[in-house]
Amino acid sequence: MSFDLYLQRFDAGNSAQVDRTRVLSVLRAVCQDQPDGFGLYSVGFPDGSALELSAEGLESEHDFTGCVLHLREFTGATIDFVFNVAALGDMVIFNAQGRDTPKEPLVILTAPAQQQHLPDEVGDHPVVCTSPAHLAQLLGVAIEGWEGFRDAVLAGNSGRE
């Protein structure tokens, strides 16, 4: 079970190409493995933590407008990686676990200028994230909720009767 974050780049309300070179520089700093046939990278960090990066098109001629990060744990290394991929790729982070409030946003911007490029139908409360520490804070409550749900599912109780 994972905590998924969706990263997407926009220009004038539409999906836009991401600078592959910048994203690859972050990835290759920690992972030399090649992706599987679907663009999935298994990324391990020196602290023993890991995540999966789904980035079809990152190393091909196909469009690359965003990616998905599947986190199974939260460490300084995983949060730094997420923030750096998003910021260097000029991508917006969509937190599917968020509640669309300023404290628990669905939409996390990595630069103020991204606000003007969002599609109209995207969340009501986008928040500009300024650092990996700020990203961890923005995900904090959602992380706790996800962990509680995960633990209940693993114990055989989804909380639904």
3-state DSSP assignment of residue 16: coil
Residue 14 zone, left/alpha/beta (φ > 0; ψ -120 to 50; rest): beta
> How confident is the model over 79-90, as pLDDT tens digits?
999 999 999 999
Domain 3-153 CATH (choose: 3.40.1580, 3.40.1440, 3.30.310, 3.30.70)? 3.30.310
> How confident is the model over 64-112, as pLDDT tens digits?
999 999 998 888 999 999 999 999 999 999 998 888 888 889 999 999 9
- The Cβ of residue 70 has, within 10 Å, a number of other Cβ atoms equal to 17
CA pair distance 89, 5, nearest whole angstrom = 14
The domain ranges of the chain are: 3-153
In this prediction the pTM is 0.86
Bridge partners of 100, per DSSP, are none
Candidates 50, 125, 36; CA nearest to 82 is 50
